Structure 1
């Protein structure tokens, strides 16, 4: 039986330190993720190590972070073939109920009452009649056996419900709370829908640590509708929401309304959650909050092995794992911008989408 990580809202870290020369802070959550991830690496549960990852920050306005990770390109699990954002869960193919026990770091559960939990506690994940004793749900933090970076894990909400890779409001809320449990400025969480480079049709998020600032965390936005804003300076058109001035439940509700519209209309999409400056603040501001970026984009349902890099959530956010050494040193910002812009919705498509979204958020 593996460990249960219990938390309460009082454990949330509202703001992280700015990007400077100071050492990143770690919360109890960070310590548990990193300790258990390191042990899994030492015990050989990954397909490869991350000992020789070469990193560059490209010159230019966006400061794209590129990393040469040839092993991930060659050794990761081949994505499951899909034709639609709405494909149902298939129990006969790989899913996260089929992983090895050694790949599970812990299950994670929120207590609604502070009196029920003693601050980020760990205990046994006991089950009664096949169900977790509280609420009958089990959400897992598991290693990604083909890591893109340090601490790369998967957050799998309600794993035994066998949900397809479609965002639910409760799953978005769990991801936001996981972000708030971290005190590390470089902790990020991403989501890829089907046809937007999700490789497994079982609801999950990617999470990892990267101690580099990303452009998406301080880029300019413009008012759109309510707490939802529009990206203005990114190569892929999209939307942004911040936690500042709102709360987890409202942010999750708005993001679910947006993503549900995308799913109904069979529009592929990516989501990225990270720490960043408050909207309207400059890059150097110490006023920091949680930012969530959502990109509707063109569908990519076929082979994704070509090209120097993919265009999923982390790449759209400005962190690009590069597949092969040839071209890595020559890559410049203009190349990245051109490649990413190719998966953006057109101006006309995005305008229509905005008009439809305004009616539901």
Structure 2
């Protein structure tokens, strides 16, 4: 019997873009689609060694996962995704790591950044306490890993468990949460408006206005230092952040 590798890069049988692949971490263990700290660490290490056009996304069960084995989806985009162009507000630090809130996005989003000189794998240990809480609370979640020339960034979305009964219609999974919509039917594509897309995104949010306080409570207990005295500074991704 052939022995499975520790991790696998697999061809996606239903690609929606060129070079769409699956990164199956700990493939030999046949794990379910429940994110582990090790899987996150492997994905962070993976993305920092490849082109900055690469994005790795993760759909939990109830957030767009179509199969129940531990995997990330890999895809290449030559332009920044819409969320990457959105202003971000600094919230907290943990050593060299930075936490930002994404301003004005329909679905609550947090961006964790490892700038140049800060090992991206450190993000796994720093972010996983929040992911573990989402698992404990039975909340679905999407993640996206992206790398610019000098920064690895992890976008995280907490959301309600959602079934996807009709796969012929647009649903909010990881790419849609990032602002990149996959619309299976031409008629729906022609009719979909930005307002409707934003409403679909907002409808799956795990929390309302209190989301930031929940995230702050969990991460503060994990060693993140929040600056409550000074408002966070707004920042925006440079247009060429994904070039390379």
> Which TM-score band (shorter chain)?
0.7 to 0.9
**1:1-361 to 2 correspondences below 5 Å:** 138-183=6-51, 185-226=52-93, 227-244=98-115, 246-276=118-148, 288-305=150-167, 307=169, 309-351=170-212, 353-357=214-218, 358-361=220-223
Unaligned runs of 5+ in 2: 224-244
Q: Which has the larger radius of gyration?
A: 1
Q: Does structure 1 conserve the Cα–Cα contact (< 8 Å) formed by 2:57 and 2:73?
A: yes
Give SS of 1:271's match. Answer: strand
Give SS of 1:138's match. Answer: coil
**Matches of 1:186 and 1:322 in 2, distance apart?**
22
Q: Does structure 1 conserve the Cα–Cα contact (< 8 Å) formed by 2:48 and 2:147?
A: no
Cα drift, residue 158 of structure 1: 1.2
**Matches of 1:346 and 1:138 in 2, distance apart?**
36
In the TM superposition, structure 1's runs of 4+ consecutive aligned residues that sit over 3 Å from their partners are 129-132
**Matches of 2:24 and 2:147 in 1, distance apart?**
21
**Matches of 2:139 and 2:217 in 1, distance apart?**
13
Alpha carbons of 1:333 and 1:206: their partners in 2 closer, same or farther (altered >3 Å)?
same
Cα drift, residue 359 of structure 1: 2.1
**Matches of 2:77 and 2:3 in 1, distance apart?**
35
Give SS of 1:319's match. Answer: coil
Number of residues of Structure 1 aligned to a counterpart in Structure 2: 217
Measured on the aligned residues, the alpha-carbon RMSD in Å equals: 2.2
Give SS of 1:321's match. Answer: coil
Alpha carbons of 1:155 and 1:260: their partners in 2 closer, same or farther (altered >3 Å)?
same
